[in-house]
Structure 1
Amino acid sequence: MIFFVSLLCSISTHLQAQLGFCGGNSGDPIFTEDFGSGTTDGPALPAGTTTYNFTTGTPNDGDYTISSTTNYFDWLSIQDHTPGDTNGKSFIVNASFTAGEFYQRQVTGLCENTSYEFSSWLINLQPAGSCEGNSIPVNVRFQIWDETDTNLLAQGDTGSILGTGTTEWDQYALVFKTVPGQTSVILKMRNNSNGGCGNDLAIDDIVFKSCGDDVTVSTSTNEQSLIVCENQGSVSRMLTATPDFSIFTTHAYQWQQSTDQQTWTDIPGENSAILDTPAVTTTSYFRVKIAEDIVNVNNDLCNVVSDVFDIIVLPIPPAPTSNGNVEICEGELGVLSVNTQTTYSIKWYDAATGGNLILSDNQNFEIGVAGTYYAEANSIEIECASATRTPVTLTVNLLPVVPEDTSAFLCEDSITSLDAEIENVTYQWSTGATTQLIDVSEAGEYTVTVTNTNGCSATRTFLVDQIDLPRIDNIKSDGPSIVVSTSNTGNFEYSLDGISFQSSSVFEAVDGGFYTIYVQDNTDCGVATADFYHLVIQKFFTPNGDTVNDLFEPDGLEVFSSFTISIFDRYGKLLKFGNLNSASWDGSFLGNQMPEDDYWYLIEADSTQFRGHFSLKR
């Protein structure tokens, strides 16, 4: 746990304080101990730095090592804390069975009446639930002693740092203030807990630095940094340093300038809270050193530094690099693209200068309208554009013009030809053929994709239906009519002579006799024929002597070489038997008129029989 607690100071025999961080700004570190890097353990700390024993192997109780690994026992395997380290080392301690001193270091050359912060990063190396849930927690005491190592000036405890299994380091700090005449102190870290199962820790990045007011730097318009483009020329600002008086009661100033935030140079004569910066044309940084006493302002062991005011001068970006002009086919979208550094964004315009902004913050521009478009590189922070724009041209090629989709028919058991009907292109049929015309023998959907010299394609579809030949199912006589039935359907036409065709399947008022029936589809896919003997038998006759329909006399028997005709009443009694010489019946039997009723006939003509009934009406 990190305690962010304000420093409570009191001067007595021992100056006491609890852990907490500097509430204001700090000076540059007076010293930093990061324990180095490398894959070899060590070296041992200087004599007097610790009461623990150094080892290059596994640290047992009361031992320590300086190593880039913590992979001992069942401890957590972690990286050191120092940012950017490769094989960075840390101070690894296996606590002694009795409480003792981990670390001490003397710091000299300090300033009187000045606040300082002593901090370190710590981590408990025990996994969660270790030692059967009874792991001894880490508990470290930070102490500040006078140079005689007899007077305790300040101290504070971390409290219990439990073995939770996390690999995250935590920082702890102690703030204290030197008294008049005090320029040297001894820093210590002690183990509050006894050793055993647990109380194993790693220590890294011990830092000692001055502590002062929180000092902000801003302009009269409350700018705390400035970013400009180099085409704006030289720039300057009037800066004001504002301390919060949390530590210092008086303030002495020395302004500094840097080009890299590493090397800082004092600006001669700038010793007030206000700085009118020199005009700059390249990136520059400004800060102010502050101390309570003017004699300490240039002593880095005594002063603190303010926040940094950045004047960032961005270079004009180079024009982006085109990835090439783009050609597409009509109806498609083309992607124009350019390359630039990741620190720049891209804007697309419709003109080389001025013009309309079309798209922002994208290196790729998708569009389907032909033309030349212009890409401009720009800073992602402010408007700082490349001096020129990069043109990228989109060409839209026309598609080949194909006839509309069409329907075709295919006669049963035959082939038909399909024609793409466009020349000077390449062809790709759904059948795999690559010619302009193809022959097909099955119904279905066929497509042809044609591609012109620009690589643009269009597709035409053919729907091919099969026309089946008529299949005559039945032919029957219905009185004087011939009725033809087919087992399939279609646009059929019917004929009795193969010349004159009609759309009706019924031929009316046809004389009895032998006929050939013709049935064809109107697409000329072929003709089906069948021979039929048409015998015309009245459905009724009226033997009343008016000479109209007085006889039952079938029509068409004359085509047979021989036939007989028998007529029966409803009880099967033979009333009439005739042949070629007598093929009619007048409705009488043995000279008596037969009554109105239904009667049956049997005609045997050559090898064919005809059966049926008819009515006699008076």
Structure 2
Amino acid sequence: MKKYFKTLKTIIICVAFFSTKIVVAQLGFCNGNSGDPIFTENFGVGTGQSALPAGTTTYAYANGAEPNDGFYTVSNTTNYFDWFTIPDHTPDDTNGKMLVINSDFTSGEFYNTPISGLCVNTTYEFSSWLVNITPSTGFCGANAIPINVSFEIWDNTDTNLLASGSTGDIGSTTTPNWMQFGLVFQTLPGQTSVILKMKNNGVGGCGNDLAIDDIVFKSCGDNITISDASNNATVNLCSNQTPYSTSLTVTPDNTVFSTHFYQWEESSDGTIWSDIIGEINQNITISGINTTTYYRAKVAQSAANVNNSSCNVVSEVFEVVVTDLGIAPTLACWETATINTTTCSWDITGTQPIAPTGLACWESATFNTVTCSWDIAGVQPNQPVLACWESAIFNTTSCNWDVFGDQPIDNQEEFLTLCQGENISLQALTAITSPTYLWGTGEITSFLEVGTAGVYAVQVGNGCLSTIITFTVTQIEIPIIESVESIESAIIVNTSNIGDFQYSVDGVNYQNSNVFSDMEGGLYTIYVKGSNCTDVVTTRFLHFYVPQFFTPNNDGYHDTFDLKGIAHFETSEVYLFDRFGKLLKSTKNAPFAWNGTFNGSPLPTSDYWYVLIINGQRRVGHFTLKR
């Protein structure tokens, strides 16, 4: 099971022996060396509850229920009521169990077990671990009844009390604390068994709840030390220092035993021991030790008991620890190895010669383990063959020759236009002396006659210098007039194709824009041609618009409301009204112009209305007269 964190407290019980026989007792725990346990009770492992053997307790078994006052259970948990939930005390077991007690309302015995196999006239130590499982923060609070347990050693007739002691009150705490209690006693002549009893000195009620675990009986003897002639208890050796020999001595302090008999033991692991035949004295000489070996002595007060684990004790352990040095390491040519007896290892010293510095980039250094030095190899790369426009510099970073210079090619571009049906001559002009020419079409002359649009390139050079001239020839299409429209006083000419076109309304003066602004109404001939081309396309267009205002102030600009061009329509009617609907002027199939008077009198600034009927289409609007 998981190891529960425990605060361990050792409680020494002062024990007085009251008996009709002479009883010798020792207080507290054994102060000397102990033998192997002759009795151990850790209550086993498993889950759930189990009962004690018959006759072991006067308490009732809970039998799966929560243990009430006067009840007990053997369980791997204390998860009852509001008690602490803890594992047992035994280290490193899984689902380890413990004896769980809910004390009766009256004091009395709750555990009784016989201990047999003891030796006469031998000192023993009894010990056990207890814990108060009632938390001070629980239901009972600060008034929880403390636990108080007595330990009693009776003779095997259960009539004579040989030794006893009490824990005293152990109150509740905020965390569970396992505590160990023990006492030391000596058997009498002829006495080989005793009875251990545990009693509740408190009363039942709210509190006085406990768990018990790890009850142990073992022999108790002198404090017995072991050392060599230099008073060492341990010797650490390196395997190159073997075989090892020395003499050992065990020294009892005579606090328990009055006489001493010995049997020396040895072990290769400190756990499994075997007797050294014939070595029964206080001193021993050991020799021929090549591996780690442990030594100790069994000690008893009589020769008959020296090999009885129930009667003897064992000394401290003398360790001869031998560390394997291992084989000598494989060394580099610059290294040496020496043995370090302190760490029992090989100390390797020596440093590889430093690699040479300042190498050229084409050089490399390789360590030669035969000569134990660096070999340098490598040759600088040869300079490449260069063209007349190139130069070379050695690059120590890339360790290559960097070639600089581009063939001096002068790229030139010319953009030309070609009228439809005409040819132009492409002239390759250059400042290069004694040039040669190579056109993309294969010609080798300085010019090329072409009659179609396209891109023509010629390379001009003299073997070192070179110029590439690219001629982009764009054919100017014959324009196609798609539409002509009037937007107020402007005439806009639209073509269905795109090109470098020029526009004219008189056939003489051409412009690049297709918009003619501030044009008087009338019948026009529209001219369109390609730039620098002779082919011209024409169309007739009647430009007509209604002015938005006029200013009859005789300044020569907009002095009349003149509907120029209206006479060119097949049929036309014009009616002019003031804002009250009074007819001011009208015409039919004739030019129309109004000077802003009625019956010879000037009319005021205002908006005036017109009705136009052109080719049967009626149009209504207004304009402004400004004075």
TM score, norm. by length of structure 2: 0.52
2:139 is the counterpart of 1:128: no
- Mapped partners of 2:182, 2:73: distance in 1: 23
Q: CA deviation at 1:95?
A: 1.2
Residue identity matched to 2:166:
D
Q: CA deviation at 1:424?
A: 3.9
Alignment of 1:469-618 (within 5 A): none
Q: Distance in 2 between matches of 1:424 and 1:123?
A: 79
* Distance (Å, rounded) in 1 between the aligned partners of 2:29 and 2:358: 72
1:520 maps to which residue?
none
TM-superposed CA distance for 1:395, in Å, is 7.9
Contact 1:6 1:21 in 2 (8 A): no
Alignment CA distance shift 1:137-1:268 (3 Å) = same
SS in 2 for 1:269: coil
What secondary structure, in the 3-state scheme, does the structure 1 residue paired with 2:130 have? strand
Q: Which residue, out of 49, 72, 75, partners 1:67?
A: 75
Contact persistence 2:244–2:290 (CA under 8 A): yes
CA distance in 1, matches of 2:310, 2:71: 34
**Matched residue type, 2:67:** P
8 Å contact kept, 1:19–1:157: no
Corresponding letter in the other structure for 1:90: M
**Cα 1:21–1:270, aligned 2, differ >3 Å: closer, same or farther?**
same
Distance 1:210 1:286 in 2: 20
Q: Which residue of 2 aligns with 1:52?
A: 59
What is the Cα-based RMSD across aligned positions, in Å? 3.5
Preserved contact between residue 318 and residue 386 of structure 1 (Cα < 8 Å): no
Pair 1:311 & 2:320 matched:
yes
Write out per-residue CA displacement over residues 53-109 of structure 1, whole angstroms, 9 at most, x where no aligned residue. Answer: 223342222222222222221111222211212222211111111222222221222
The alpha-carbon deviation at position 423 of structure 1 amounts to 6.7
Question: Which residue does the alignment assign to 2:306?
Answer: 297
Choose the corresponding residue for 1:208, options 217, 221, 242: 217
- In 2: Cα distance, 1:394 partner to 1:83 partner: 58
Q: Any idea what SS the aligned residue of 2:165 has?
A: strand
CA distance in 2, matches of 1:177, 1:39: 38
Q: 1:391 to 1:305 in 2, by over 3 A?
A: farther
Match of 1:226 in 2: 235
Q: Work out the percentage of aligned pairs sharing the same amino acid.
A: 51
Number of residues paired by the alignment?
358
Hey, what's the Cα distance between the residues in 2 that align with 1:195 and 1:393? 85
Structure 1 residue 114: Cα displacement: 0.8
Residue 24 (structure 1) aligned with residue 39 (structure 2): no
Show the counterpart of 2:154.
145
Between the aligned partners of 1:193 and 1:393, the Cα distance in structure 2 is: 83
Aligned partner of 1:112 in structure 2 is: 120
- Give the deviation of 1:49 after TM superposition: 1.3
How far is the alpha carbon of 1:232 from its aligned partner?
1.7
Counterpart pick for 1:384 among 337, 344, 349: 344
Partner of 1:497: none
Shift of residue 136 of structure 1? 1.0
Inter-partner Cα distance in structure 2 for 1:349 and 1:193: 78
Matches within 5 A, 1:319-468: 352-354=335-337, 382-386=342-346, 424=397
User: Once the 2 structures are TM-superposed, how far is the Cα of residue 11 of structure 1 from its aligned partner?
Assistant: 6.1
Q: Is the 8 A contact 1:2 1:171 kept in 2?
A: yes
Residue 15 of structure 1 and its aligned partner are, at CA, apart by 4.6
Q: 2:183 and 2:347 mapped to 1: Cα distance? A: 54
Q: Are the aligned partners of 1:25 and 1:306 in contact in 2 as well (CA < 8 Å)?
A: yes
1 CA distance for matches of 2:289 and 2:11?
A: 42
Distance 1:391 1:62 in 2: 79
| Distance of 2:180 and 2:198 partners within structure 1 | 13
Query: Structure 1: which amino acid aligns with 2:294?
Result: Y
Kindly tell me: are residues 154 and 7 of structure 1, through their superposed partners in 2, closer, same or farther at Cα, counting changes over 3 Å? closer
- Distance in 1 between the 2:278 and 2:30 partners? 29
Secondary structure of the residue that 1:133 maps to in structure 2? helix
Conserved? CA contact 2:337–2:347, under 8 Å: no
Distance 1:126 1:186 in 2: 29
1:121, 1:171 within 8 Å by CA — same for their partners in 2?
Answer: yes
1:506-529 alpha-carbon deviations (Å, 9 max, x no partner):
xxxxxxxxxxxxxxxxxxxxxxxx
Q: C-alpha distance in 2, partners of 1:38/1:242?
A: 44
Give the match's secondary structure for 2:203. Answer: coil
Deviation readout 1:150-182 (Å, 9 max, x if unpaired): 110000111111211333311100111111111
C-alpha separation in 1, matches of 2:352 and 2:87: 49
Q: Does 1:171 align with 2:154?
A: no
**d(CA) in 2 for partners of 1:269, 1:137:** 56
Which residue in 1 is equivalent to 2:94? Answer: 86
The AA in structure 2 aligned to 1:143 is E
* CA displacement at 1:8 relative to structure 2: 6.0
Which SS does the other structure have where 1:21 is aligned? coil
Q: Name the aligned partner's letter for residue 239 of structure 2.
A: E
In 1, Cα distance between the equivalents of 2:146 and 2:258? 41
Counterpart of 1:184, as a letter, is S
- Secondary structure at the aligned position of 1:117 is classed as strand
Q: Tell me the distance in 2 between the aligned counterparts of 1:18 and 1:270.
A: 31
Counterparts in 2 of 1:320 and 1:50: CA distance versus 1, 3 Å: farther
Instruction: Give the deviation of 1:40 after TM superposition.
Output: 3.2
d(CA) in 1 for partners of 2:293, 2:257: 28
CA–CA distance in structure 1, aligned partners of residues 360 and 177 of structure 2: 66
* C-alpha spacing 1:220/1:58, structure 2 compared with 1 (3 Å): same
Q: Return the alpha-carbon distance in structure 1 between the equivalents of residues 17 and 85 of structure 2.
A: 39
Partner SS, residue 237 of structure 1: strand
Distance (whole Å) between structure 1 residues aligned to residue 306 and residue 83 of structure 2: 47
- TM-score, normalised to structure 1's length? 0.53
Deviation at 1:39, TM superposition (A): 2.5
**Comparing 253-262 with 16-25, which one deviates more in the overlay?**
16-25
Q: Distance in 2 between matches of 1:112 and 1:183?
A: 6
1:209 match: secondary structure: strand
Shift of 1:387: 8.8
- For 2:280 and 2:358, the matched residues in 1 are separated by 74
Structure 1 residues 314 and 148, CA, compared in 2 at 3 Å: closer, same or farther? Answer: same
Which runs of 5 or more residues in structure 2 are unaligned? 1-8, 362-393, 405-627
The one-letter amino acid of 2:181's match is Y
- With over 3 angstroms needed to count, the CA separation of the structure-2 counterparts of 1:45 and 1:383, relative to structure 1, is same
Return the alpha-carbon distance in structure 2 between the equivalents of residues 59 and 29 of structure 1: 31
Residue matched to 1:506: none
Q: Does the Cα contact within 8 Å between 2:12 and 2:182 map onto a contact in 1? A: no
**8 Å contact from structure 1 (residues 316, 387) kept in 2:** no
Secondary structure of the structure 1 residue equivalent to 2:192: coil
**Larger C-alpha radius of gyration, 1 or 2?**
2
Post-superposition offset of 1:215: 0.5
CA distance in 2 between counterparts of 1:215 and 1:240 reads 10
Cα contact 1:50–1:104 (8 A) shared by 2:
yes
AA partner of residue 257 (structure 2): F
SS at match of 1:201: strand
- Give the Cα separation in 1 of the matches to 2:240 and 2:189: 54
Q: Once the two structures are superposed, what CA deviation does each residue of 1:115-168 show, in whole Å capped at 9, x if it has no partner?
A: 111111111111124413111111111111000111100001111112113333
1:18–1:174 CA contact under 8 A, matched in 2: yes
Question: Alignment partner of 1:64: what SS?
Answer: strand
Q: Deviations over 1:305-348 (max 9, x none)?
A: 11111111222358999xxxxxxxxxxxxxxxxxxxxxxxxxx9
- Which position in structure 2 is the counterpart of 1:185? 194
